[in-house]
Structure 1
Amino acid sequence: MRIGILTGGGDCPGLNAAIRAVVKRGSSEHGCSIVGFRNGWEGVIAGDAIPLTRDDVSGILVHGGTMLGTARCHPHKVDGGMEAVKDTFDNEKLDGFICIGGDGTLKAAGKVSQKLGVPVIGIPKTIDNDVVGTDAAIGFDTAVSIATEAIDRLHSTAESHNRVMVVEVMGRHSGWIAVTAGVAGGADIILAPEDPFDIDKIAKKIRHRHRYKDFSIVAVAEGAVPKEGSRWNAEDTLDAKGNPIAGSIGSAVTRAIEEATGFPTRLTVLGYVQRGGVPTAADRLLGTRMGIAAIDGIVSGETGKYTALQGEHVVLEPFETMMGKTKWVPEELFAAANGL
């Protein structure tokens, strides 16, 4: 068999582990030829392909990012994109695609599978951890580890200067990083998109805390939103399409806390550092396991699905399970965060 592989959407640690697993397992166990496409679905549309051998993937396990490059491109949204994907599939004499990506890239993979009848298996990767059907996605553990370390480091500065430290982390639509890193790092207040906030209540909580502690840590997801009707102007934190502007919500919350409490308040925006660098052991392992499951699945003909970690096992879920849906932070985890 001849299998194409691509990575789409934002980069994250652990992608190379999945690519490596597909190539090594595919060539050694199944006798497959693996073809890599540069820059996600853009590369498939353009026919920008390179052969991948065991030698090509040697040593990439510990590297962040993706050796294939990536781009935010969905072929069903590009004029002639779907036709170009089919042409590349035929011209390269492929037997299937393995697509590694977040919710948008996997939705595109689902459409390629459904509309073109092309065998496709997806592998979920996103530091936001918002793909429905899988307990974790590649890149999430590393991002949480980085965010937790940042919160740990800010504790000493906050305490030394008697300040409120606001940390903005990624998470446009769901607050997995903010909540998990916030709990792990001992943040005093956690703001996430699933739980709209009231700035007056936040200020009251900080003032109460400062009766016995002279510092506070606030973890904020970039997509956090105020409660409807609360004293807040959210328009300054959104772009023309209504999407959160990185750094804007953190900056607005920082100003509002300082104005409401009178306490010196400082902002740290982690930004892209959450997506870069060496993957954790957990992400290397998850990428490897999902890569193996993907190539095994495509060889056995179990396609139109994506790999999913469910409990202790990696299984294959139909694309329909995740398409058009978002995995929200559960109320139980919010309750745990708010109860500390």
Structure 2
Amino acid sequence: MSTEAVESQQVVVESDYDSPTWRQLSDFSVTVTGNNFPSHASYADLRLSSVRDMGSVARADRKVVQGEFGYVLEDVPHFADYLPDVPTYPNPLQDNPAYSVVKKYFVNEDDTVPQKIVVQKNSPRGIHFRRAGPRQRVYFEPEDVYACIVTCGGLCPGLNTVIREIVCGLSYMYGVKKIVGIQGGYRGFYSRNTIPLTPKSVNDIHKRGGTILGTSRGGHDAIKIVDNIQDRGINQVYIIGGDGTQKGASVIFEEIQRRGLEVAVAGIPKTIDNDIAVIDKSFGFDTAVEEAQRAINAAHVESESVENGIGVVKLMGRFSGFIAMYATLASRDVDCCLIPESPFYLEGRGGLFEYIEKRLKDNGHMVIVVAEGAGQELIADSVRSMGHEDASGNKLLLDVGLWLSQKIKNYFTSRQRMTINLKYIDPTYMIRAIPSNASDNVYCTLLAQNAVHGAMAGYTGFTIGVVNGRHTYIPFYRVTEKRNKVIITDRMWARLLSSTNQPSFLSAEYIEEIKTPREPPK
């Protein structure tokens, strides 16, 4: 055949069994024309091309696989996507006496978890996420692993537990010896502040609040951070933080992928407000709700001990009122709960002041729980203040608890209708700083161990989270694209209104508006 002749060759693209695309590609072939036989370096591109040809979408930031009956898998990145020649090894857990006796300990590669479990008979199967857990083969030799852990953002119960369980999981399950903690948040990467972490050094840190690594807001410079990761030879990065931190982790992963580094980036979502999308709940939330009971109980004791007593308790919840809602439902001593998602007004028929006056006449005392983000639009000088942000990009909020307390005092003083005794309690920093309770300790353990399993199995650019009771690997973009909020047309908020017997403070027009489904943009 002459050099001008055109040859057509069939190239079968295969991957290891433990690769996330193994079953998709096992029967797939790519036609290559001419002498441009694919090199090893182009196999990753062929993998992505094959996924596209099979009705999937695979971009740098999104990897979506579509199946029959409306099945959609929003998958997470894997080393096999852009590092075609990376070797694999048997999982050390198969020789670990603690795990080798467990039947079906390794997760099947086809296992996925649906985002919605309540469907109708003709509904499509919907969006799924890859199930978390150990795989039969791993992409790291234990002696080659150099892992680091960093905590960013505000404090939250359970941070030290997550740190402890990542260290113990890497050490006891996989035999990893080299683990360091990055001190002071993202800034610690390029200020070179690290501390060695061993099972012995983290043995009892779960009994303490805060984070032994320290934390900070802001300081995210992806280029400098990845430069430092590359210079140190770090190949596993565990990032613990809220939605802003996870956005930063996503940028770090993209830079690592752009450089073609074999570095796994795993996020563990942290927000005491429980406002991270997709996941069932975030760690520390149960502890926060439990600890909030102390403040509510104190407010109740104070208010019922005096004539016309009012106890006002401010709880966390910048944009989402989950802590206030669940603490109110758990307490049964709260007469009114105010959250950011449910607008309220003070004066006039059906307003808050009218309800307070009626409640005091009927019961002689009352307790009000207000989330920190509630009523911001009502505060007189909020126009100037709400434009300011902290280092993480969060809007700086005014103290709605103090403002509301003063407004209530002014209302009853000016009208001389009755004398009130008001006590204001803000337990925010007390709640943030405590150790996690038993429930959260177990939850933190499972999150940390599954993050380790994912990184060892070659998954990267993911957040670990529980969806419908199952641990899953979720793409970064899904947990950062929007916040989880209380739906005030949902049954849970209706249960709260039934418990407190408070009015909704919503106009009929507003209720009709939020009930009416909006047409999607064309």
| Cα shift at 1:320 | 1.1
Contact preservation (8 Å) 1:127, 1:137: yes
AA aligned to 1:181 is A
Counterpart of 2:198 in structure 1 is 53
Contact preservation (8 Å) 1:96, 1:120: yes
Partner SS for 2:369:
strand
| Cα shift at 1:312 | 2.5
> Aligned equivalents of 2:235 and 2:445: distance in 1?
22
Counterpart of 1:203 in structure 2 is 353
Counterpart of 1:302 in structure 2 is 459
> Aligned equivalents of 1:236 and 1:305: distance in 2?
37
In the alignment, structure 1 residue 293 sits paired with structure 2 residue 450 = yes
> Aligned equivalents of 1:6 and 1:147: distance in 2?
28
Counterpart of 2:503 in structure 1 is none
- CA spacing shift, 1:165–1:85, aligned 2, 3 Å: same
In the alignment, structure 1 residue 36 sits paired with structure 2 residue 186 = no
Query: Which runs of structure 2 are paired with 1:26-175 in the superposition (5 Å)?
Result: 26-32=170-176, 33-75=178-220, 81-117=221-257, 118-162=263-307, 163-175=309-321
In the alignment, structure 1 residue 179 sits paired with structure 2 residue 319 = no
Contact preservation (8 Å) 2:376, 2:382: no
> Aligned equivalents of 2:366 and 2:385: distance in 1?
26
> Aligned equivalents of 1:160 and 1:7: distance in 2?
43
AA aligned to 1:335 is A
- CA spacing shift, 1:234–1:335, aligned 2, 3 Å: farther
> Aligned equivalents of 1:276 and 1:237: distance in 2?
30
- CA spacing shift, 1:238–1:190, aligned 2, 3 Å: farther
Counterpart of 1:249 in structure 2 is 400
AA aligned to 1:182 is T
Matching residue within 487, 493, 499 for 1:334: 493
Structure with the greater alpha carbon radius of gyration: 2
Segments of structure 2 that go 5 or more residues without pairing to the other structure are: 1-144, 258-262, 390-394, 413-417, 500-522
Counterpart of 1:78 in structure 2 is none
Matching residue within 216, 222, 230 for 2:372: 222
Contact preservation (8 Å) 1:223, 1:244: no
> Aligned equivalents of 1:62 and 1:136: distance in 2?
22
Partner SS for 1:212:
helix
Partner SS for 1:178:
helix
Matching residue within 184, 187, 190 for 2:337: 190
TM-score, normalised to structure 1's length? 0.91
> Aligned equivalents of 1:321 and 1:157: distance in 2?
44
> Aligned equivalents of 1:244 and 1:40: distance in 2?
20
Deviations 1:7-41 (A, max 9, x none): 11111211111111111110121122222111111
Segments of structure 1 that go 5 or more residues without pairing to the other structure are: 76-80
> Aligned equivalents of 1:180 and 1:149: distance in 2?
14
Is the deviation greater in 234-243 or in 295-304?
234-243
| Cα shift at 1:236 | 8.0
Partner SS for 1:210:
helix
| Cα shift at 1:318 | 0.7
Contact preservation (8 Å) 1:237, 1:249: no
- CA spacing shift, 1:327–1:64, aligned 2, 3 Å: same
Contact preservation (8 Å) 1:13, 1:65: yes
Deviations 1:236-265 (A, max 9, x none): 89455173545x211111122233344332
> Aligned equivalents of 2:234 and 2:380: distance in 1?
52
Partner SS for 1:61:
helix
Contact preservation (8 Å) 1:237, 1:244: no
Deviations 1:53-111 (A, max 9, x none): 11111111221111111111252xxxxx2221112111221112110111111111111
- CA spacing shift, 1:293–1:310, aligned 2, 3 Å: same
Q: How large is the Cα RMSD of the aligned pairs?
A: 1.9
Partner SS for 1:28:
helix
Is the deviation greater in 215-224 or in 325-334?
325-334
Contact preservation (8 Å) 2:237, 2:265: yes
Q: Percent identity?
A: 32
Deviations 1:197-244 (A, max 9, x none): 1112111112222232001111011111267xx7x6252894551735
